[in-house]
Amino acid sequence: MDKEVVVFAAIVSVIVIAIAAIIEFSIPLQFVLAAVVLLIILGVFFPAWIEFKEYERGVVFRLGKFNRVVGPGLSFIFTSFESYVLIDLRTQTIDVEPQVVITRDEIKLKIDAVVFIKITDPKKAVIEIKDYRKAITEFIKAEIRNLIGNMILTDVLAQTDVINEKLNTALGKISGKWGVTSERVEIQSIELPPELVEAMRRRKEAVEYKGRTETEAEAIQLKLDIMDRAARKMSDNTLAYLYLDALKAISEGKSNKIIFPLEFSHLASMLSGKIPQGKEEKINYDELIKDFLNNYKEKKKEILEKEEKESEKAK
59-63, 69-73, 253-257: least confidently modelled range: 253-257
Q: Which of 170-179, 191-200, 249-258, 295-304 is modeled with the greatest confidence? A: 170-179
Task: Decide which of 32 and 175 is more confident.
Answer: 175
36-45, 64-73, 263-272: least confidently modelled range: 263-272
CB 96, CB 138: distance < 8 Å: no
Instruction: Name the band, by pLDDT with cuts 50, 70 and 90, for residue 262.
Output: very low
Residues with Cβ within 8 Å of residue 286, at least 6 apart in sequence: none
191 C-beta neighbours (distance < 10 Å), count = 13
Amino acid identity of 27? I
Opening angle at CA 280, ends 277 and 285, nearest 5: 65
Average predicted confidence (pLDDT) for the chain: 77
The continuous run of DSSP H or E covering 186 comes out as strand 180-191
* CATH architecture under which domain 92-192 falls: 2-Layer Sandwich (3.30)
pLDDT (tens digit per residue) in 76-115: 888 878 899 999 999 999 999 999 998 888 888 899 999 9
pLDDT (tens digit per residue) in 215-253: 888 887 887 777 667 666 666 666 666 666 666 665 665
Q: What is the pLDDT of residue 232?
A: 67
pLDDT (tens digit per residue) in 11-22: 667 666 666 666
CB 47, CB 32: distance < 8 Å: no
Q: Any idea where the domains of the chain sit in the sequence?
A: 2-88, 92-192, 198-233, 234-314
For the cut 60, the answer to whether the pLDDT of residue 134 exceeds it is yes
What is the pTM (predicted TM-score) of this model? 0.55
C-alpha torsion sign, points 180, 185, 188, 192: positive
The mean pLDDT of 266-271, rounded to a whole number, is 52
For the cut 80, the answer to whether the pLDDT of residue 35 exceeds it is no
